[in-house]
């Protein structure tokens, strides 16, 4: 990715821009927020950035760890059925909107950049009340409630997938971590070097076909169970497995195994601190179809077996569609996923170098390494327009 260029109008109105970013609850919201914040600082080093979150979300750890100031507002659960929470919703929302408005005023925000999730709804409503322009980014192919609301009163709508049904939608891709983009942009020789190094650090054979299994930060019970059923057969086929079970799913029973004939190893871990190393080591990925993991794998040209999570509004199945239709991934059904299914699906790809190469090329066509820079530039343009119009 080319280096971002500073915005020539950034200091034209007496102070650096002030951008407030809203998004939390899960890594799906905080990861693109952090990636875009990195680019905003690259474009304007003395920019003022403030993140809004709640005490319940992952953002209480990830946002400060990324060096971003975090301000908290009261959480507002969005009830899906009648009950006490629905009765309390107007009062809770009112308090959260007031808290978000106070943060926007304190930050002297030029623009609100929202990534969806529960925390974004009160932030959007507060910004609208204060007439602060809003830029939104929707990570999933099927948009969430907060961004469906905000898209009704802002023309600045960016999406990860081309088919996302939102007004004013402009496809830019998903803002991804710098470490992932750097790996994607590495030339072939550099990628080979990184693969060799990653496999050595992870205790894997340098030359053996490698399956990476991951269910996201919390793991995926259905995927984990199917892999345990298939692992003996896969090792017998000479396929080594790096299995990221999820921190809460790793037990004393999850131990390293290897096949004495092929010397293929099964390595179970709770989590991988630097996921780019796991990606660098892999030839094939078996995972859920969250937007971040799906598009990270696509950008890296990693063939994948995607198992959309069946709970929710079907957004994971929609996320998988673009990569599957391009030919970069195969879709597996959660309800019928078993070890026998994997014993057929995994070797069919790893034993066929031509198929791997075709899937890799197809996957890359779906993702963009420029998303975080494009979203950062759009945000600064909107902020500059507000300054030009007069605060």
Asked if pLDDT for residue 5 goes beyond 50, the answer is no
> What is the pLDDT, as a whole number, of residue 118?
84
Taking a C-beta distance cutoff of 8 angstroms, is the pair 52, 123 a contact? yes
pLDDT grade, residue 81 (50/70/90)? Answer: low
> What is the pLDDT, as a whole number, of residue 255?
83
Cα angle 129, 134, 136 (rounded to 5 degrees) comes to: 135
Query: In 69-186, where does DSSP find H-type helix?
Result: 84-107, 120-129, 145-150, 178-185
Dihedral sign (CA 149, 47, 37, 2): positive
Q: What percent of the chain has pLDDT over 70?
A: 89
Q: Which residues contact 276 (CB under 8 A, 6 or more apart)?
A: 177, 179, 180, 182, 183
Q: Which residues contact 120 (CB under 8 A, 6 or more apart)?
A: 22, 23, 29, 114, 136, 146, 147, 150
- Which tens digits make up the pLDDT trace of 126-183? 999 999 999 999 999 999 889 999 999 999 999 999 889 999 999 999 999 889 999 9
Annotated binding-site members: 26-28, 140, 177, 217, 316
247 or 340, higher pLDDT: 340
- Which tens digits make up the pLDDT trace of 317-343? 999 999 999 999 999 999 999 999 999
Taking a C-beta distance cutoff of 8 angstroms, is the pair 114, 147 a contact? yes
Concatenated DSSP letters for 307-370?
Answer: ---SSSSSHHHHHHHHHHHHTSEEE--GGG--HHHHHHHHHHHHT-HHHHHHHHHHHHTT--S-
Taking a C-beta distance cutoff of 8 angstroms, is the pair 153, 147 a contact? no
φ, ψ for residue 114, nearest 5 deg = -115, 145
Element (H, E) at 276: helix 275-281
- Which tens digits make up the pLDDT trace of 352-371? 999 999 999 999 999 999 99
Annotated binding-site members for UDP-N-acetyl-alpha-D-glucosamine: 26-28, 140, 177, 217, 316
The percent helix, strand, coil of the chain (3-state, each to 5) is: 45, 15, 40
Helices and strands: H and E segment counts in the chain: 14, 14
Asked if pLDDT for residue 216 goes beyond 70, the answer is no
> What's the whole-model pTM score?
0.86
3-class state of residue 214 by DSSP: strand
* Cα 303 from Cα 357, distance rounded (Å): 8
Q: Which residues contact 97 (CB under 8 A, 6 or more apart)?
A: 122, 125, 126, 129
Among 125, 184, 136, 133, which residue's Cα sits nearest to residue 159? 136
- Which tens digits make up the pLDDT trace of 82-122? 666 665 678 888 999 999 999 999 999 999 999 998 899 99
Residue with tokens 């309390």: 88
Domains in the chain, start-ordered, CATH in brackets?
A: 18-176+369-389 (3.40.50.2000), 178-364 (3.40.50.2000)
Among 382, 380, 385, which residue's Cα sits nearest to residue 6? 380
Tokens of 43: 């474009």
């Amino acid at each position: 990715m080319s280096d971002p260029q500073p915005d020539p109008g950034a200091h034209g109105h007496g102070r650096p821009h002030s951008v407030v970013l809203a998004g939390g609850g899960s890594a799906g919201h905080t990861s693109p927020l952090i990636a875009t914040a990195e680019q905003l600082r690259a474009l304007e080093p003395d920019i003022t950035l403030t993140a809004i979150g709640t005490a319940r979300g992952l953002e209480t750890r990830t946002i400060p760890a990324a060096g971003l100031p975090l301000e908290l507002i009261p959480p507002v659960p969005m009830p899906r059925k009648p009950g006490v929470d629905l009765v309390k919703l107007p009062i809770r929302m009112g308090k959260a909107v007031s808290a978000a408005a106070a943060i926007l005023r304190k930050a002297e925000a030029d623009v609100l950049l929202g990534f969806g999730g529960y925390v974004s709804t009160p932030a959007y409503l507060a910004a609208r009340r204060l007439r602060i322009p809003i830029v939104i980014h929707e990570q999933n192919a099927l948009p969430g409630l907060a961004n469906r609301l905000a898209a009704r009163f802002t023309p600045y709508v960016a999406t990860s997938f081309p088919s996302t049904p939102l007004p004013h939608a402009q496809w830019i891709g998903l803002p991804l971590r710098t470490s992932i983009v750097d790996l994607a942009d590495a030339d072939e020789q550099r990628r080979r070097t990184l693969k060799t190094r990653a496999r050595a650090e992870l205790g894997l054979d340098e030359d053996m076909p490698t399956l990476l299994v991951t269910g996201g930060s919390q793991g995926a019970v259905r995927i984990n169970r199917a892999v345990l059923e298939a692992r003996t057969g896969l090792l017998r086929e000479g396929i080594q497995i790096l299995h990221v079970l999820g921190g809460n799913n790793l037990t004393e029973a999850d131990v390293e195994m290897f096949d004495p004939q092929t010397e293929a190893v099964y390595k179970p871990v709770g989590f991988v601190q630097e996921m780019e190393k796991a990606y660098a080591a892999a030839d094939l990925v078996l995972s859920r179809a969250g937007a971040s993991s799906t598009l990270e794998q696509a950008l890296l040209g990693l063939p994948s077996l995607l198992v959309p999570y069946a709970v929710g509004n079907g957004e994971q199945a929609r996320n998988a569609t673009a990569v599957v239709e391009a030919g970069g991934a195969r879709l597996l059904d959660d309800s019928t996923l078993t070890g026998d299914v994997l014993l057929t699906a995994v070797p069919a790809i790893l034993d066929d170098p031509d198929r791997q190469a075709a899937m890799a090329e197809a996957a890359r066509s779906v993702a963009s390494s420029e998303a975080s820079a494009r979203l950062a530039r759009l945000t600064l343009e909107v902020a500059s327009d507000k300054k030009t119009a007069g605060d």
